[in-house]
Amino acid sequence: MTASEMDGGEKDFFAARGFGNRIGFGDRPALLVIDFMCGFTSPDYPLGANLDAEIDASRTILDAARRARVPVAYTVVQYDTVDGGFAGVWQRKQHGLASLLAGDKAVEIDGRVAPVTGEPTFAKKYASAFFGTDLLTWLVSRSIDTVVLVGCTTSGCIRATAVDAVQYGLRPMVVAEGVGDRSAPAHRQALFDLDQKYADVVSANEVLGYLEGLGAPGRDRNKSKHDS
């Protein structure tokens, strides 16, 4: 579901109160592939779901990002042990986290969207890709101003990452076709709420056009369009 397909009545309600404006793409993007790991992309696992369509859409974005030489980074959720409060209080809420042990197949990135040499993977223990990781340092060191988000789940780690991104002064762009959830209602509501308050929910075609434009002849990737 794209932003334009969201409930019109609700959109009008929020628009009248100043929500839902466009942040817009910046000049120096990075693509973040959030938790497309086997434990989430295969229904065979306790926390898994069928995300084949989202994987396919994300592969297209990933290929375009690499052609445009846009930095790409990945995240996985993993734990070293299931003993001794491995995920703090959160493990009391989600016993399925115990299936995400370091070294197991469940925490391997799905081979359909696997990283290539030079694309880092940040291991995390909680929802946001920023919490307890070096992701922000990696982005700042590359002068990134826009993060394009694909992955899962829309209502969990995508939402948490987008909220943190905008709070750090980045432009979060959530690719509607490239994010998925175990629950269709949760997915729809998360996309709607993100688009109204924290991020731009954009189509894959919008992102592809943006990425292709980055390689346009004469464009200086090191100079912002906002520079005078």
* Single-letter code of the amino acid located at 106: A
**Catalytic residue selected from 34, 157, 160, 174:** 157
- The closest alpha carbon to 192, from 61, 35, 12, 64, belongs to 12
DSSP class of residue 18?
T
Q: Is the C-alpha dihedral spanning 179, 9, 209, 142 positive or negative? A: negative
Rounded to the nearest 5 percent, the helix, strand and coil shares of the chain are 40, 20, 45
In the annotation, is 152 catalytic?
no
Quote the CA–CA distance of 155 and 183 in Å, as a whole number. Answer: 9
**Contact call for residues 15 and 24 (beta carbons, < 8 A):** no
Tokens 């729809």, residue? 188
Beta strands in 78-170 (DSSP E): 121-124, 146-152
> CA quadruple 115, 120, 126, 129: dihedral positive or negative?
negative
Instruction: Tell me the C-alpha distance between 176 and 150, whole Å.
Output: 8
Only one residue has tokens 């004469």, namely 218
Which residues are known catalytic residues? 157
